Amino acid sequence: MSISITPPARERIRQFLDRTPGAAGVRFGVRRTGCSGFAYVVDLADAVQPDDRTLDVDGIPLIVDARSLPMVDGTVIDFRRQGLNASFVFHNPNATGECGCGESFTVG
Protein backbone atom coordinates (compact mmCIF):
# COMPACT_ATOMS: atom_id res chain seq x y z
CA MET A 1 0.00 0.00 0.00
CA SER A 2 1.53 3.26 -1.12
CA ILE A 3 0.15 6.79 -1.10
CA SER A 4 2.40 9.82 -1.56
CA ILE A 5 1.86 13.44 -0.59
CA THR A 6 3.73 16.23 -2.39
CA PRO A 7 5.34 19.03 -0.33
CA PRO A 8 2.59 21.59 -1.17
CA ALA A 9 -0.13 19.11 -0.16
CA ARG A 10 1.77 18.19 3.02
CA GLU A 11 1.99 21.86 3.98
CA ARG A 12 -1.75 22.39 3.39
CA ILE A 13 -2.72 19.25 5.30
CA ARG A 14 -0.48 20.22 8.24
CA GLN A 15 -2.25 23.61 8.37
CA PHE A 16 -5.60 21.81 8.76
CA LEU A 17 -4.21 19.42 11.39
CA ASP A 18 -2.57 22.25 13.36
CA ARG A 19 -5.94 24.04 13.56
CA THR A 20 -7.65 20.86 14.79
CA PRO A 21 -5.40 19.31 17.45
CA GLY A 22 -7.99 16.65 18.40
CA ALA A 23 -8.10 15.14 14.89
CA ALA A 24 -7.00 11.53 14.56
CA GLY A 25 -5.62 12.32 11.10
CA VAL A 26 -6.74 12.93 7.55
CA ARG A 27 -9.33 10.64 5.99
CA PHE A 28 -8.61 9.85 2.35
CA GLY A 29 -10.87 7.65 0.29
CA VAL A 30 -13.57 7.53 -2.33
CA ARG A 31 -17.35 7.72 -2.43
CA ARG A 32 -19.82 6.84 -5.18
CA THR A 33 -20.93 9.95 -7.02
CA GLY A 34 -20.74 11.93 -10.23
CA CYS A 35 -21.03 10.92 -13.81
CA SER A 36 -18.00 8.60 -13.74
CA GLY A 37 -18.70 6.70 -10.56
CA PHE A 38 -16.31 7.79 -7.76
CA ALA A 39 -15.07 11.02 -6.18
CA TYR A 40 -12.21 11.52 -3.75
CA VAL A 41 -12.86 12.31 -0.11
CA VAL A 42 -10.32 14.29 1.91
CA ASP A 43 -11.43 15.38 5.37
CA LEU A 44 -10.25 15.53 8.94
CA ALA A 45 -11.03 12.34 10.85
CA ASP A 46 -12.31 12.47 14.42
CA ALA A 47 -11.61 8.78 15.00
CA VAL A 48 -10.22 5.66 13.39
CA GLN A 49 -12.92 3.09 12.54
CA PRO A 50 -12.40 -0.70 12.83
CA ASP A 51 -12.13 -1.19 9.04
CA ASP A 52 -9.67 1.72 8.58
CA ARG A 53 -6.00 1.48 7.86
CA THR A 54 -3.76 4.26 9.16
CA LEU A 55 -0.67 5.09 7.13
CA ASP A 56 2.10 7.41 8.26
CA VAL A 57 2.91 9.45 5.16
CA ASP A 58 5.77 11.82 5.94
CA GLY A 59 4.50 12.32 9.49
CA ILE A 60 0.87 12.75 8.46
CA PRO A 61 -1.60 10.13 9.73
CA LEU A 62 -3.58 9.20 6.62
CA ILE A 63 -6.70 7.13 7.36
CA VAL A 64 -8.12 5.03 4.52
CA ASP A 65 -11.19 2.77 4.78
CA ALA A 66 -10.88 -0.83 3.57
CA ARG A 67 -13.27 -0.31 0.62
CA SER A 68 -11.21 2.58 -0.75
CA LEU A 69 -7.77 0.98 -0.32
CA PRO A 70 -7.55 -0.82 -3.68
CA MET A 71 -8.85 2.24 -5.55
CA VAL A 72 -6.33 4.71 -4.06
CA ASP A 73 -3.22 2.53 -3.82
CA GLY A 74 -0.38 4.32 -5.61
CA THR A 75 -2.10 7.73 -5.60
CA VAL A 76 -0.07 10.92 -5.34
CA ILE A 77 -1.91 13.72 -3.51
CA ASP A 78 -0.89 17.20 -4.66
CA PHE A 79 -2.14 20.71 -3.86
CA ARG A 80 -2.26 23.44 -6.50
CA ARG A 81 -3.15 27.11 -6.62
CA GLN A 82 -4.31 28.64 -9.90
CA GLY A 83 -5.29 32.25 -9.60
CA LEU A 84 -7.95 32.48 -6.91
CA ASN A 85 -8.58 28.72 -6.94
CA ALA A 86 -6.81 26.19 -4.74
CA SER A 87 -7.50 22.48 -4.52
CA PHE A 88 -6.09 19.04 -3.94
CA VAL A 89 -5.19 17.18 -7.13
CA PHE A 90 -4.95 13.39 -7.33
CA HIS A 91 -2.70 11.38 -9.63
CA ASN A 92 -4.19 7.89 -9.38
CA PRO A 93 -2.73 5.04 -11.46
CA ASN A 94 -5.93 3.03 -10.87
CA ALA A 95 -8.20 5.59 -12.56
CA THR A 96 -9.17 4.42 -16.03
CA GLY A 97 -11.24 7.48 -16.90
CA GLU A 98 -12.47 10.82 -15.62
CA CYS A 99 -15.56 12.86 -16.32
CA GLY A 100 -15.24 16.06 -18.31
CA CYS A 101 -15.49 18.29 -15.26
CA GLY A 102 -12.78 16.34 -13.41
CA GLU A 103 -14.94 15.75 -10.34
CA SER A 104 -15.26 11.98 -10.65
CA PHE A 105 -13.37 9.00 -12.01
CA THR A 106 -13.73 5.32 -12.88
CA VAL A 107 -11.54 2.36 -12.04
CA GLY A 108 -11.05 -0.72 -14.18
DSSP assignments along the chain, one per residue: ---EE-HHHHHHHHHHHHH-TT--EEEEEEEEETTTEEEEEEEEESS--TTEEEEEETTEEEEEETTTHHHHTT-EEEEEEETTEEEEEEE-TTEEEE-TTSS-EEE-
> Which of 2.60.300.12, 3.90.45.10, 3.40.50.920, 3.40.605.10 is the CATH number of 4-94?
2.60.300.12
Q: What is the pTM of this model?
A: 0.86
pLDDT score for 80: 92
pLDDT of 99 > 80? The answer is no
Mean pLDDT of 30-35: 78
pLDDT score for 105: 65
pLDDT of 48 > 90? The answer is yes
pLDDT of 23 > 90? The answer is yes
Predicted confidence (pLDDT) per residue in 58-94, tens digit: 999 999 999 999 999 999 999 999 888 888 989 888 8
